[in-house]
Amino acid sequence: MKIKFLLLFMLLTIHNATYSLSDRLAFYWEHLKKPLQVGSITPSSQKTGEAIASYLLKHDGSKEILEVGVGPGSGITDFLVANLQQNDKLTFVEINPSFAAILRDKYGHIPNITIIEGDILTFNPEKKFDYIISSLPLTTLPKEFIEQYFEHLESLIRPYGIISYIQYMGVSLRMFLSSLFRSKSLKTKMRIIERFKNKWLLESTRVFRNMPPTWVHHLQVA
């Protein structure tokens, strides 16, 4: 039943992925094996990529960019790569070994792209980033991780840098259903996310051409 459900989503989201069928199958297979680590059931669309990179595109001069939770590459990743300037540096951090291998095959030949296989919480480079793009489906992850994650992103961003992340629109419905069943876990996670968002919020936009539709939040960390 679960496999049939995933196959249906694959058919519904062909427009979402700009990578090959084999990469897309790898995405769904890893979701089946590690649903908590690969929390999203579909890759993000190119429209989401355009929205999440909107501030980055306005930047004059060279920039350091970090994408977290890259998966095997999505519409977000492809958009970032397509818009890289000569002196830009793009770093991917991906914890899933299968996805990291796909990223190395696809992007490892590009000189200004660095691929890190590992946990973002243990990623401590000497440099800071101008832009951080987060593709992690945060509400599927443990609340302890979410709190540490946001604190760590603050330590990685340069002053007045931009952190942009996605949040699926269905979360509010899940919140309502959770309240009916007295589930505190999701509400606790959302409080952590909202606290960080409200601290630095610059702008929020909606992307309907994504499965599921998503919010893109841009935060400027002073």
Domain ranges across the chain: 2-221
State how far the Cα of 222 lies from the Cα of 209, in Å rounded to an integer: 31
Record the tokens describing residue 61, joined without a space. Answer: 């001069």
**DSSP 3-state percent helix, strand, coil across the chain (nearest 5):** 45, 20, 30
Residue 173 vs residues 94, 167, 208: alpha-carbon distances, Å = 29, 13, 16
**The pLDDT value given to residue 176:** 43
Indicate if the pLDDT at residue 162 is higher than 60: yes
Mean pLDDT of 127-140: 92
Indicate if the pLDDT at residue 179 is higher than 70: no
Indicate if the pLDDT at residue 12 is higher than 80: no
Mean pLDDT of 93-120: 95
Residue 71 vs residues 12, 18, 168: alpha-carbon distances, Å = 19, 13, 17
pTM of the prediction?
0.80
Least confident interval from 14-23, 176-185, 186-195? 14-23
Q: Widest CA span of the chain, in angstroms?
A: 52
With beta carbons less than 8 A apart as the criterion, state whether 205 and 51 touch. Answer: yes
Mean pLDDT of 178-192: 72
Query: How much is the mean pLDDT over the chain?
Result: 82
When pLDDT is cut at 50, 70 and 90, the band that residue 209 belongs to is confident
**The pLDDT value given to residue 203:** 97
Q: Specify which of 1-5, 48-52, 136-140 reaches the highest per-range mean pLDDT.
A: 48-52
Indicate if the pLDDT at residue 68 is higher than 70: yes
Class of CATH domain 2-221: alpha beta
State how far the Cα of 166 lies from the Cα of 151, in Å rounded to an integer: 17
Which residue has better confidence, 170 or 135?
A: 135
**The pLDDT value given to residue 193:** 94
**The pLDDT value given to residue 20:** 54
